[in-house]
Amino acid sequence: MNCLRTIALSLSLFLVGLVGPVQAQLQMNFYANTCPNAEKIVQDFVSNHISSAPSLAAALLRMHFHDCFVRGCDGSVLINSTSGNAERDSTPNLTVRGFGFIDAIKAVLEAQCPGIVSCADIIALASRDAVVFTGGPNWSVPTGRRDGRISNASEALANIPPPTSNFTNLQTLFANQGLDLKDLVLLSGAHTIGVSHCSSFTTRLYNFTGRGDQDPALDSEYAANLKSRKCPSLNDNTTIVEMDPGSRKTFDLSYYQLLVKRRGLFQSDSALTTNPTTLSNINQILKGSVENFFSEFAKSMEKMGRINVKTGSAGVVRRQCSVANS
């Protein structure tokens, strides 16, 4: 009898162990009972504003990426620091845009459902909705992320892949987040929309090895055009350049077509063609349809959106996205 009780107790504890983590995972329509209109509020806000600011799609997508690569997808990229040492003060995030947009969505949600919807979930939902409304792919966004309260500039610098990355650096930084080489190629495809500042790539044009030279991996005609028409000097920090010339507003395969022509804007773009596995992935994408790319991109976005998420009792729901202890 005691043996049966022991077995029953062990089974009970085992089932509790199974149920516990499941309850704390992300799930579709997480706010169905606590804030039923949460996702529609985000969607409507994006829909009402994206037509007048379509570039926000690329900006929010980048914000989501930068948020997830530092301490997981916990909204820590949004935190302001009076001492200037938060993630958003770090070099990789100085050109990140959309903070005010997320704050505005949060204000609407707080008016409807105070203290319920996390800033981390708002980033994940808004970035997806913005891409969809500008004709890009759709992907599932399970919710239930909780917000972090720690935001360090040094961690952003150490974990976000810079545009000057070589293949080894990219592989390492993505692997650190549980992302493989296929994810690396697919998520880099987000460069099909948006713009960059000259400062992110002018070293390739003017001083690649520190001797006043040009990156030999960059198509010479493309480089000459960038020098003469876009970035006339190494010190240009203000001029904006399309990452996917002629197609920056369209989520398509053009980015990958440019890569195989040696016309990727960043060194990190060019690096994707230096490894046989990633080059094979690029060619496979180009052989397929845009719809297939959308489907594969969606899978990698869903995977990225789960990086080191805080759920259940971990983390908090910040009432103000820019304030750590709100």
Structure token digits, residue 124: 């994940």
What is the rounded distance in angstroms from the CA atom of residue 280 to the CA atom of residue 162? 23
Instruction: Tell whether 192 is in a known binding site.
Output: yes
70 assigned binding-site residue:
yes
87 has binding-site annotation: yes
Active-site annotation holder among 49, 64, 66, 197? 66
180 is in an annotated binding site: no
What is the DSSP annotation of 209-256? TSSS---TTS-HHHHHHIIIII--STT--S-EEESSTT-TTS-SSHHH
CA dist 41 to 111, 123, 208, 258, Å?
A: 11, 13, 47, 37
CA 106, chain centre distance (Å): 19
Q: Is 103 annotated as a binding residue?
A: no
121 labelled ligand-binding? no
Distance CA 186, CA 195 (A): 18
Q: What is the CA radius of gyration of the chain?
A: 22
Whether residue 221 is annotated as binding a ligand: the answer is no
Q: d(Cα 74, Cα 24) in Å, to the nearest integer?
A: 15
Q: Is 49 annotated as a binding residue?
A: no
Indicate if 66 belongs to the active site: yes
Task: Say if residue 72 carries a ligand binding annotation.
Answer: yes
Binding residues for substrate: 161
Going by the annotation, the residues of the binding site are: 67, 70, 72, 74, 76, 87, 161, 191-192, 244, 252
Residues known to be catalytic = 66
Binding-site positions for heme b read: 191
